[in-house]
Chains A and B, each alone.
Chain A
Amino acid sequence: KAGVTQTPRYLIKTRGQQVTLSCSPISGHRSVSWYQQTPGQGLQFLFEYFSETQRNKGNFPGRFSGRQFSNSRSEMNVSTLELGDSALYLCASSPYGQGNEKLFFGSGTQLSVL
């Protein structure tokens, strides 16, 4: 089985721009969640999608949004980028997003905002 695929691997943007990150889950997994990792911080939960519906959202401003398609692929969008948005963004998939299911992570997208 192919693993979780995130694209692109690296991104450099400037303040004020917007960015879209993509995540393709493991085949058959319907839950996709997104996390932000900044230096010194643990993974911060952004949101979770299941069957094209946002099921849960973390404490991030409205500039962070996402969606999920019928094939379970998910995209995350950040508008009006700020310097503080520079981070590693990870997505993870699981069959149903239940707490007793382990998460399968992608390799992440490293976003640098200049």
Chain B
Amino acid sequence: ILNVEQSPQSLHVQEGDSTNFTCSFPSSNFYALHWYRWETAKSPEALFVMTLNGDEKKKGRISATLNTKEGYSYLYIKGSQPEDSATYLCAFKGNFNKFYFGSGTKLNVKP
């Protein structure tokens, strides 16, 4: 059984704070790492797809980095806003065509 772990499980920050969370995954047989944002009562929505060691992606105030050799990815949110409140999921895909999702980090941004 393959383990994808996310930390922390939950996070409460004030509006304007910057924050980051971690996704750990196996460092072997890597193919891709995805990040999704899942807002309450909505569907998970893709943020980033990363495939290369050292990849850095950015979308507005949100960015992500990837280290496949040590098996981790960081998601950063700069200047958190209440609308960033959601669960952030990472998903690892190895060379065997299945996605393994972490349990998610639930972010709550207080105005």
Contacts and interface: CB of A to CB of B under 8 A. Distances in A.
A92 B4 CA distance: 19
Contact of A97 (B4, B51, B97, B100): B97
Interface in B16-50: 31-32, 34, 36, 42-46, 49
A29 to B, nearest CB: 13
Contacts of B101: 35, 42-45
A109 B104 CA distance: 20
Given A43-B89, A92-B44, 6 more contacts: A33-B99, A45-B101, A101-B49, A102-B46, A107-B42, A107-B43
Closest 10 CB pairs of A and B: A102-B46, A99-B32, A99-B93, A43-B101, A42-B101, A105-B43, A99-B31, A42-B103, A105-B44, A56-B97
B99 A45 contact: yes
Contacts of A48: 97-98
A66 interface: no
A46 to B, nearest CB: 10
Contacts of B1: 59
Contacts of B45: 105
10 contacts: A4-B43, A45-B98, A45-B99, A48-B98, A56-B98, A99-B93, A99-B97, A100-B49, A104-B46, A107-B43
Contacts of B4: 42
A55 B42 CA distance: 28
A106 interface: yes
A59 B1 CA distance: 9
Contact of A100 (B43, B51, B91, B98): B51
Given A99-B51, A100-B51, A107-B42, A40 B103 contact: yes
